[in-house]
Amino acid sequence: MTTIIKDIIKKRLPGPRQPIIKEISQRWSPRFYSAKQIPLNHLKIIFEAARFAPSAYNHQPWYFYYAKKGSDSYKKLFSTLNDNNRLWAVSAPILILACYETKNENGKNSFSLYDLGASVISLILQTQSLGYFARQMGLFDKDKTKKIISLKKNLEPFIIIALGKIGDYRKAPKVIVALDLDRRPRKTDIFKEI
């Protein structure tokens, strides 16, 4: 591991105050990835974790679409990202589009966004346990995405996730290194007994 990556990890992972599981305590969202592809069996494990997330009434209102770097689908999905997100997604070997159902057979699903979030964090924690990292990106052209992916009418694109191994930050653009060296402390008082 290079010195610059060690410095970034040290700044990004200041350490929890309580003994939480490694996949949470070591989770962070890098902006520079290795070009090495993720094997299909690992992708299947990652999506299986997402599939097992809890959801209201067990409706499981999430759908994931993935694209491998170099494919036409990747280029299309990448083209929907805003300029900043393109900067840190360009090196990722996998892009994932996370969508939610706006309605199901019972009508509007008021919990679908919450359920999608549960599924995404399950996906991300499984990703971490396999030695990969993920960066979630919400700024992208959702209307363009609907057209190029040909989504079903009741599906709404919500987030794009870059996925891969950490890249060699010695080769990363300086702006990315500076951003990832910027310490972002966690809030400390998030709970209170009532």
Would you say residue 186 lies in a domain? no
What is the pLDDT confidence band of residue 105, given thresholds at 50, 70 and 90?
confident
- 110 or 186, higher pLDDT: 110
Burial 92-117 (b: 16+ CB within 10 A, else e): bbbbbbbbbbeeeeeeebeebeebbb
Nearest-Å Rg of the Cα atoms of the chain is 17
Would you say residue 104 lies in a domain? yes
CB-facing half-sphere around the CA of 102: CA atoms within 13 A: 8
CA separation for the pair 65, 158 (Å, rounded): 12
Would you say residue 113 lies in a domain? yes
Would you say residue 192 lies in a domain? no
Would you say residue 49 lies in a domain? yes
pLDDT tens digits along 148-189: 988 888 899 999 999 999 999 899 999 988 888 887 777 777
- pTM of the complete model: 0.91
- 104 or 146, higher pLDDT: 146
- Cα dihedral value 138, 134, 179, 113, nearest 10: 30
Instruction: Say yes or no to pLDDT of 116 above 90.
Output: yes
What is the pLDDT confidence band of residue 14, given thresholds at 50, 70 and 90?
low
Would you say residue 88 lies in a domain? yes
> What pLDDT, on the 0 to 100 scale, is given for residue 16?
78
Residue reference for tokens 């990832």:
180
Would you say residue 45 lies in a domain? yes
Residue reference for tokens 């520079």:
32
The CATH code of the domain that includes 151 is: 3.40.109.10
Lowest mean pLDDT across 30-39, 102-111, 147-156: 102-111
| Number of domains the chain contains | 1
- Average per-residue pLDDT for the chain: 90
Would you say residue 189 lies in a domain? no
- 184 or 142, higher pLDDT: 142
Range of the domain at 26: 3-13+20-181
